[in-house]
Amino acid sequence: MVQLQDSMCDLLIVGAGPAGLMAATWAARCGINARIIDKRGTKVFNGQADGLQCRSLEIFDSFGFADRVWQESNHMIEICLWNPDETGRIRRTDRIPDTIPGISRFQQVVLHQGRIERFFLDSLAEYSDIQVERGVLPEQLDIDHSRAEDLDAFPIRVKVRHLSDDEATPFQHSTNVPDGLFRSSLAKDDTDDLIRKSRGKNGTTEIIRTKYMIGCDGAHSWTRRQLGFSMEGEQTDFIWGVLDIIPITDFPDIRMRCAIHSAESGSVMVIPRENKLVRLYIQLTEVSKNGGQVDRSTITPSIILQAAQRIMFPYKLTYTYCDWWTAYQIGQRVGNNFSSSDRIFLAGDAVHTHSPKAGQGMNVSMQDSYNLGWKIALVINGIAQRSILKTYQSERRRVAQDLIAFDHRFSRLFSGRPAKDAADEAGISMAEFKDAFEKGNMFASGLAVDYGASILVAKPGDSADQGDGTDVGPQQTNGSSSSYSTILKITGKQDLATNIKMGMRFPSFQVLNQADARPWPFAHFLKSDGRFRIILFAGNIASPHQFQRIQTFGEDLSGPDSFIHRFTPLGKPIDSVIEVLMIHSAPRKGIELLELHDVFHPLDEREGYDYGKVFVDDESYHEGHGEAYKGYGVDRERGCVVVVRPDQYVGWIGEVEDVVDLGGYFDRILIPQRG
Amino acid sequence: MVQLQDSMCDLLIVGAGPAGLMAATWAARCGINARIIDKRGTKVFNGQADGLQCRSLEIFDSFGFADRVWQESNHMIEICLWNPDETGRIRRTDRIPDTIPGISRFQQVVLHQGRIERFFLDSLAEYSDIQVERGVLPEQLDIDHSRAEDLDAFPIRVKVRHLSDDEATPFQHSTNVPDGLFRSSLAKDDTDDLIRKSRGKNGTTEIIRTKYMIGCDGAHSWTRRQLGFSMEGEQTDFIWGVLDIIPITDFPDIRMRCAIHSAESGSVMVIPRENKLVRLYIQLTEVSKNGGQVDRSTITPSIILQAAQRIMFPYKLTYTYCDWWTAYQIGQRVGNNFSSSDRIFLAGDAVHTHSPKAGQGMNVSMQDSYNLGWKIALVINGIAQRSILKTYQSERRRVAQDLIAFDHRFSRLFSGRPAKDAADEAGISMAEFKDAFEKGNMFASGLAVDYGASILVAKPGDSADQGDGTDVGPQQTNGSSSSYSTILKITGKQDLATNIKMGMRFPSFQVLNQADARPWPFAHFLKSDGRFRIILFAGNIASPHQFQRIQTFGEDLSGPDSFIHRFTPLGKPIDSVIEVLMIHSAPRKGIELLELHDVFHPLDEREGYDYGKVFVDDESYHEGHGEAYKGYGVDRERGCVVVVRPDQYVGWIGEVEDVVDLGGYFDRILIPQRG
């Protein structure tokens, strides 16, 4: 066996599923020298995860490809609840909106994982040279913990083997494999384009030395096992079958998301999908007898279909086309540790497993690495201090814990037998189920995530309590920089912006560009490009007093001694680390952009003035009034200032005059770039 | 010189600009054996036409790529009018919306022609094997008029020469060519991908025999000259320069569309574009002295810029990046004939030329071949009678005539000197200019097009008067089919749908899919696929009486003797020639789709019921209430029936019981497919 020579990179991502691809996408946007490897020879084509939360769509939008998902996916609008009546016949008992109206500009949709991975791959190709290296198996992992805090070190050493084609090709071609994974003839895709085997390297091994590493290698994570970390939690008794079919049925709500509880035969969840497909999650009551791990090979599509037919009786259900099927047993577990020395991180299924029915899996996994990717990138690029890395575990392990608690309650209610009446204590109350479903919708949207107090989130309270227990509060800096280093805790003023919550994602309302009057969802300007943003709610700048406050703010930010200059590398544009955006509330037609302070419309020799930084909350000609100040809960006269992290989570809120605290926020987390 | 053997096709398109590509796109969607040739070796990269009307975006949407245009383009929202004050200094005097609010779900945008052509090319590749054959020069044209009415004939013979690379490459590489055409470094494009020279055929000639031919070969149309047709109209004295630059300026409205009239130095129109570009149309007063054709080689970018600086004084204007520039003199002309024997057709600049400033050129050209393409396709496919082809000239030559009249008035007002006061009769009244601008907006949107009475538009009045004079009324059919052949004129009932105008495009309002509650603009379901559509406004089907009317309508349409069966080829799906869609006004939650007549949810053995044909005008969870019945002006109780042509123009309106007239409409234009 030929051994290749050692190679170096700044970031190695193991696993090219959605979590790994999300991390790679951050690397691409932040110019990181990253590699992403996967042991499989091709990406997935069908089946697997398919539900996408509002928050995932918002994240895709911040990378510029939400529109592709929005267009191809099936939009789930309404949930119909079906329950047995007094005779035991199932009836539609309720309709509730699938996504709570008003919480996002997107709604929950479904699209199979293979397409999502395609969009990531296209985005990687557009912004970088990063390509997924498929058929590459990691075999050995070493880390030199003693050099973890050395910024120049490559303390991680991974030995990988480049597989032959045969080794790397998963069973996707047969309809008879036990887990039902076979290739779809329905989903459009581009197989040949995707098979990137490391030809010429087949059978060779390679030593990769890297500064950072992320294990996104699934529930059986090789990386996690190398680190000796464990999963904590339990396996339930519930066995479920999954069919992705084009149904032929007289069930009236087959294009709605449905939760169907039969009287005695178990439950079905209906998830209508793209291309006329419908996914059915079907409770398999017969095969759960032995209580332990079930031999899935005894389950066939025919057994699953028959179970569905019993549950959905008297409606008829058959199919001629089946795209994918599988069966599973619910395990609900969370990893005990998400990182090793803040150099090697775990994300996605490698640190949490749970039921698929709430449509959370792919979303929470992607959001893990979405939380992590920019932090690693800013540290590698010398912009941010290493201390921000520990917020990954405190923020995401807490989310995983909350997810498992949610899933536990939801699964129990969904898998249980409906109560016959109020006295039937062994049964599940359908009123309780509906209530859980409605309350669960907010959680399921991904928008309830509320990161705890930390150096990145200047909110009151105890950071250990609000996270997973990790200490992520501010620490005395090592005297490397400024007068702010002695500030131990900065607390933002939440009451200045009642609907912009510190720790939660910055919401989006429609604003107009001051220069051309075009309406935009404000989130359009919070792209995932690694920059922090200061959103100046400038208030009513038609008032001379307020105008003067804003001019002073502009002067404070633009001076050569300002923190923005201090944290921006020499020779880089002034908005390359921290960008300043304004939303004012004065009438659009009464304000001239060029009369505002230069910091709000920087001049470039080749491109003239920047017309993309000042927005107004005013009536549009074609899209109504965004009522952004009302939506954000900000005073239209006085405004306020908000710091938004590169992942759109809110870090700090203050008055226009609170420039010292504003600088202090950045002082705790960024590295000064000039003397 | 090697001579290739004769080849045959059903449709030959000469010229691969927007008009030719639009025709090819229809051919691709309708499965026509078409070829498209262009003498140039590559497509355009920058400059040229860039304004896109609402109607053009609607058409792109019907082919599925409006979203790409919408995303990349600059949206023009507001027009600012600048005029001299009493001291002669220019001032902003008015702001008006660029697109009249409410007339379309799109607004006018700008994007350079090269990107539009790219979207067409991508769409061709997705739906067909049709590729643009570049570097192919037509040299000789013959048509056997005696065989024009023979459906099996290939009466057209075109000799073409495959050029060498040198011959086919236009001057796009130098900044010094007289017309200012040079390659852009700004616009993203894919040059290498596009150069499809007929290598291996270089220098050879080929005889193409074809059934139909469209000349989209520009203002100097070779096709038009072969046919001996002429252009009628005049050349004006006005000389204009055009600069596509990234401006460096303190003019406050540089990102708005502006019409600037200076007191004595002429006029400028500002068109903000994508990628920070701005197009300036600049009146060149100095060089128009001799009145006749001007030697454009005496005009330089510097001369044009200086003229702009004088007009825009006291604001400063410079640039470091110029993407494209040119100069032109306005010629306003219309072709005297748009077709020869309804076998060879002319479209686009080949039959109309005018000022570019109203942003009409590319739009009207594309809409010519959009009007023509489906007619030729349905005739070639044996679905429609040849008599529909004569409506092309009556409909589009009339539009060209209206365009020239509009352009004449608009150009005079824009090129003239502003009146100093009411007594200054030689000057142009700025109030009149504003009025013309506002009224012109409806025309400029492309939505004012109102095709006259014909066999395709069952409205009252004289068809010759309403068109360009061509006789396009119904004729006695030659006894080939049914009892309807004796009906000479069918007149729809306009008052049943007051905002759906026969002869105009079917407007779009939001409706919900009955099966899954998803909101859609109804236009989404009027795709350009060559099908006629019957839109059944089913009214309040919660009422038993109305429900029965609709069931009867369904029975009338679905019987084996119905006209839908008669015009559908054996073995084809029942909705392949005429599709039936329903919009009802009953509460969504009170209606069960499967209880409606089968014709509204056809069953397929493999795909189950069709859930995509029944819609409801009701409140959505996330997008409000579409109020479609109100928007369409249709009675919510009784409804009505509307026939929509494959190009979305309204052909007929009637009562639910008017099935005989409905069948009669199709009887005049389609060919029976079965006994």
pLDDT tens digits for A94-121? 999 999 999 999 999 999 888 999 999 9
> What is the end-to-end Cα distance of chain B in Å, rounded?
52
Annotate A271-336 with three-state secondary structure.
EECCCCCEEEEEECCHHHCCCCCCCHHHCCHHHHHHHHHHHHCCCCEEEEEEEEEEEEEEEEEEEC
Which tokens in the block code for residue A405?
A: 């608690």
Task: Report yes or no: A185 at the B interface, CB cutoff 8 Å.
Answer: no
End residue of a domain, out of A389, A406, A428? A389
Residue B561 forms part of a structural domain: yes
Per-residue pLDDT averaged across A406-431, rounded?
83
Q: Are residues B216 and B364 in the same domain?
A: yes
B484 pLDDT more than 60: no
Distance CA B328, CA B294 (A): 9
One domain for residues B613 and B510: yes
pLDDT tens string B158-185: 999 998 776 666 544 334 333 333 333 3
Kindly list the residues from chain A whose CB atom is less than 8 angstroms away from the CB atom of residue B605: 248, 320
Closest residue to A622, CB basis, from B101, B517, B592: B101
Residues A360 and A509 in one domain: no
Mean pLDDT along residues A514-532? 98
CB A134 within 8 A of CB A42: yes
Confidence of residue A169 (pLDDT cuts 50, 70, 90): low
Looking at the fold, whether A131 and A30 belong to one and the same domain comes out as yes
The CA-based angle B185-B188-B193, given to 5 degrees, is: 105
Q: Tell me which residue in B99, B589, B621 faces A97 most closely, judged by beta carbons.
A: B621
pLDDT at A45 over 90: no
Instruction: Give how far the C-alpha of residue B584 lies from the chain's centroid of Cα atoms, to the nearest Å.
Output: 30
CA distances from B630 to B150, B509, B627 (A): 47, 10, 5
A491-500, B7-16, B76-85, B472-481: range with lowest mean pLDDT: B472-481
Longest pairwise C-alpha distance within chain B: 80
B381 and B519: one domain?
Answer: no
Which residue on chain B is closest to A621 by alpha carbon? B101
Please enumerate in sequence order all residues whose Cβ is within 8 A of that of A537, keeping only pairs 6 or more positions apart, or say none. Answer: A497, A583, A584, A585, A629, A632, A634, A639, A640, A641, A642
What's the pLDDT score for residue B168? 67
Looking at the structure, do residues B497 and B378 belong to the same domain, yes or no?
A: no
State pLDDT tens for residues B615-655: 999 999 999 999 999 999 999 999 999 999 999 999 999 99
pLDDT reported for residue B408: 84
B531 and B659 fall within a common domain: yes
Q: Rounded mean pLDDT of B55-66? A: 97
> Which of B404, B427, B446 corresponds to the end of one domain?
B404
d(CA A301, CA B623): 39
By C-alpha distance, the chain B residue nearest A518 is: B77
Tell me if B621 and A255 make a contact (CB, 8 A cut-off): no
Band (A296; pLDDT cuts 50, 70, 90): low
Q: Both tokens of residue B272? A: 């903000």
Query: Is a pLDDT exceeding 60 seen at residue B188?
Result: no
- Non-local CB neighbours of A56 within 8 Å, separated by 6+ positions: A362, A363, A366, A367, A446
B78–A276: do the CB atoms touch at under 8 Å? Answer: no
A320 touches chain B (CB under 8 A): yes
A520 vs B: CB within 8 A = no
**What is the DSSP-derived secondary structure letter of residue A417?**
P
Return d(Cα A132, Cα A350) in angstroms, integer.
19
Quote the number of domains for chain A. Answer: 2
How many Cβ contacts (< 8 angstroms) between chains A and B?
106
Is A228 a domain residue?
yes
Mutate to test the interface with A, among B622, B623, B625 (most CBs of A within 10 A): B622
CA-nearest of A211, A235, A49, A228 to A144 is: A211
Identify whether the C-beta of residue A123 lies closer than 8 Å to the C-beta of residue A366.
no
> Quick check: is B372 in a domain?
yes
Cβ–Cβ contacts within 10 Å for residue A611, how many? 18
**pLDDT at res. B332:** 86
State phi, psi for A546 to the nearest 5 degrees.
Answer: -70, -40
Q: Do A23 and A129 belong to one domain?
A: yes
Least confident of A318-322, A558-562, B487-491: B487-491
B518 and B390 housed in the same domain: no
- Residue A518 is nearest to which of B75, B320, B518, comparing CB atoms? B75
Q: CB contact, 8 Å: A75 with chain B?
A: yes
CB contact under 8 A, A594 and B67: no
Cα separation, A433 vs B67, whole angstroms: 40
Residue A334 is which amino acid?
V
Kindly identify which residue of chain A lies nearest to residue B68, measuring between CA atoms. A67
**Residue A606 sits at the chain B interface (C-beta within 8 Å):** yes
Write the pLDDT tens digit of every residue in B312-330: 999 999 999 999 898 887 7
Is B243 in the A-facing interface, judged by CB distances under 8 Å? Answer: no
Query: Is the CB of A574 inside 8 Å of chain B's CB atoms?
Result: no
pLDDT bucket at B43, cuts 50 / 70 / 90:
low
Please tell me which residue in B281, B392, B632, B649 is annotated as part of the active site: B281
Spell out the alpha helix ranges (H) of A141-239. 165-168, 191-194, 222-227
Cα–Cα distances in angstroms (integers) from residue A213 to residues A22, A66, A217, A223, A375, in the given order:
14, 27, 12, 9, 13
Q: Which residue has the higher pLDDT, B22 or B286?
A: B22
d(CA A626, CA A512): 9
Check which CATH number belongs to the domain holding A511 and give it. 3.40.30.20
Of the residues B276, B280, B510, the best mutation for testing chain A's interface (the one with the most A CB atoms within 10 Å of its CB) is B276
In a shared domain, residues A377 and A487: no
> Are B276 and A607 inside 8 Å of each other by CB?
yes
Q: Is A281 an annotated catalytic residue?
A: yes
Which residues 6+ apart lie within 8 Å of A109 measured at CB? A51, A52, A57, A69, A70, A73, A74, A75, A76
Does residue A55 sit within a domain?
yes
Closest partner residue to A594 (CB to CB) among B95, B246, B252 is B252
Burial grade of A560 (CB within 10 A; 0-12, 13-18, 19 or more)? exposed
Check whether residue A373 and residue A489 sit in a common domain.
no
Query: Is A34 domain-assigned?
Result: yes
Residue A92 is among the residues annotated as catalytic for this protein: no
For residue A463 the two structure tokens come to 């950071």
Instruction: Please determine, for residue A295, whether its predicted confidence score (pLDDT) is greater than 80.
Output: no
DSSP per-residue codes, B213-227: EEE---TT-HHHHHH
Question: Which of A83-92, A179-188, B485-494 is the most confident on average?
Answer: A83-92
The answer to whether the Cβ–Cβ distance between B101 and A621 falls below 8 Å is: yes
The tokens for A416 are: 């249980």
Q: State the residue range of the domain holding B48.
A: 7-71+110-232+333-404
Could you tell me how many residues make up chain A?
675
Confidence (pLDDT) at A331:
79
Could you give the percent of chain A with pLDDT greater than 70? Answer: 88
| Contacting A residues, span 18-57, partner chain B, CB-CB under 8 Å | none
**Residue A356 known to be catalytic:** yes
The answer to whether position B451 is within a domain reads no
A246 and chain B: CB distance < 8 Å anywhere?
yes
CA–CA separation, A639 vs A540, rounded Å? Answer: 8
Pick A272's closest partner by Cβ from B107, B250, B516.
B516
Of A102, A249, A594, the CB nearest to B608: A249
CA–CA separation, A147 vs A142, rounded Å?
A: 12
What's the CATH code of the domain at B128?
A: 3.50.50.60
Mean pLDDT estimate for chain B: 88
Euclidean distance between CA atoms B198 and B7, whole angstroms? 15
The pLDDT value given to residue B623 = 95
Task: List, for residues A459-500, the tens digit of each pLDDT value.
Answer: 998 888 898 888 787 754 444 444 334 446 899 999 999 999
How many angstroms separate the CA of residue A385 from the nearest CA in chain B?
Answer: 35
Say how far apart CA B66 and CA B519 lie, in whole Å: 18
Q: What's the mean per-residue pLDDT of chain A? A: 88
> Is A303 touching B (CB cutoff 8 A)?
no
* Phi (first) and psi of residue A191, to 5 degrees: -50, -50
Residue A152 CA to residue A150 CA, distance in Å, equals 6
Q: Which of B384, B404, B424 is the last residue in one of the domains?
A: B404
Asked if residue A285 is part of any domain, the answer here is: no
Does the CB of B568 have a partner CB in chain A at under 8 Å?
no
By Cβ distance, the residue of B71, B77, B248 closest to A516 is B77
Which residues of B fall within a CB distance of 8 Å from A609? 248
Q: Which residues of A touch B254 (CB under 8 A)?
A: 515, 608, 611
Strand B231-249 relative to strand A267-272, pairing: unpaired
In this structure, the answer to whether residues A67 and A182 fall within a common structural domain is: yes
Active site residue B273: yes
Cβ of A246 within 8 Å of Cβ of B608? The answer is yes
Is the pLDDT assigned to residue B98 strictly greater than 80?
A: yes
Q: Could you tell me if residue A90 is inside a domain? A: no
CA proximity to B105, closest of B673, B653, B659, B628: B628
Q: Give the Cα separation of B588 and B349 in Å (integer).
A: 48
Instruction: Measure the CA–CA gap between B116 and B419, rounded to whole angstroms.
Output: 40
Chain B partners of A186 at a C-beta cutoff of 8 Å?
Answer: none
Start-to-end CA span in chain A (Å): 52
